[in-house]
Amino acid sequence: MAHIIIHEVGIRDGLQIEKDIVPTDRKLDWIAKLAASGVDMIQVGSFVNPAKVPQMADTDELFRQLAAAPQRPGLIYTGLVLNEKGLERGMACGVEYFCMGVSASETHSRKNTGMTTADATDRIIAMGRQAADAGKGVQVSVQSAFGCGFDGHIPLDRVLGIVRRYADAGLTAVSLADSSGHADPDQVEEMVNAVQAIGASIGITCHFHNTFGMGLANVYASFRAGVRTFETGFGGLGGCPFVAMAAGNVCTEDVIHMFHRANLRRDIDLGAIVSVTKDAAAFFNKPLPGTIHRTGPIFHPGRFAAPTND
């Protein structure tokens, strides 16, 4: 079985909608704990206008400090960019892996970027090629791939058209993002199968939100369909500020617990992630939507083999 990869996006997607600004030192502490847990990738922030998303105003500083500190071998820090200025900022502060994307929803695209989907696709492909030519890792996404609170149903062919354009440009690490949480397991399986049919070179990541309570079921459906990379957020925090009904990411510790129950990725330290969630709940002074940080994990001695790196 191919290695499962966990891309922890809570520091970016989880925090961007919160009004209480998390100090840089606290973010660095959370990043250090998440890194120590054994997750594979951590999204440090986004290079956006701080007036529109104040929580991300310290993204450049975070990357500079992380670049100067010791790093766990194999860990990848990622940064989100929406435009050329963001890409320029990311290059300047040492980002090695860029995430960027296009919304399949016209309304979401205009609210998020001020551009049509077609114009945004042209722009993102050019940016992706620029980053790749500079030797950086690049992941491109299709946001609102499974539906939109503004535009409702998003035709599958519309999503596949964007993916084909990415693939034709040599951008083959593709995230299918359920920005509004509309996905259901059958739809997930259908879309994953259709994207896989475009070409074997495409590496699919899935990014689910739990708006309607189906996030974990959708992770499992995509896993069964062959996806091995998942974007998740500690505590279930998060939500895009520019969707009709923002809700949290599928919760990292809940996803890890599910894989632990399947005897997979037991090398990831669930307790380290839970400690970040509990600290975040105390900082924001509110209960967070995830489950395992409240209930604790299920563990039956003797059922599991020794931890593995599967």
Quote the pLDDT of residue 1: 44
In tens, the pLDDT along 220-267 reads 999 999 999 999 999 999 865 554 445 689 999 999 999 999 999 999
Q: Which of 1, 83, 3 is nearest to 46 (CA)?
A: 83
- Residues near 213 by Cβ (< 8 Å), separated by ≥ 6? none
Cβ(160)–Cβ(198) below 8 Å: yes
- Convert the pLDDT of each residue in 64-75 to its tens digit: 999 999 999 999
Collapsing DSSP states into helix, strand and coil, what is residue 165? helix
Those residues with Cβ within 8 angstroms of residue 92's Cβ, 6 or more apart along the chain or in another chain = 60
CA–CA gap between residue 201 and residue 270 (Å, rounded) = 32
Q: Is 219:230 a contact under the CB 8 Å cutoff?
A: yes
Q: Which position among 99, 148, 240, 251 bears the catalytic label?
A: 240
Q: In degrees, to the nearest 5, what angle opens at C-alpha 150 toward C-alphas 104 and 192? A: 35
Taking the model in full, what pTM does it have?
0.93
93 has catalytic annotation: no
Domains of the chain (ranges; CATH) run: 5-295 (3.20.20.70)
What are the pLDDT digits (tens) for 107-130? Answer: 777 877 778 888 889 999 999 999
**Which pairs count as long-range contacts for 306-310, CB under 8 Å and 24+ apart, including other chains?**
307/266, 307/267, 308/263, 308/264, 308/266, 308/267, 309/3, 309/265, 309/267, 310/1, 310/3, 310/4, 310/263, 310/264, 310/265
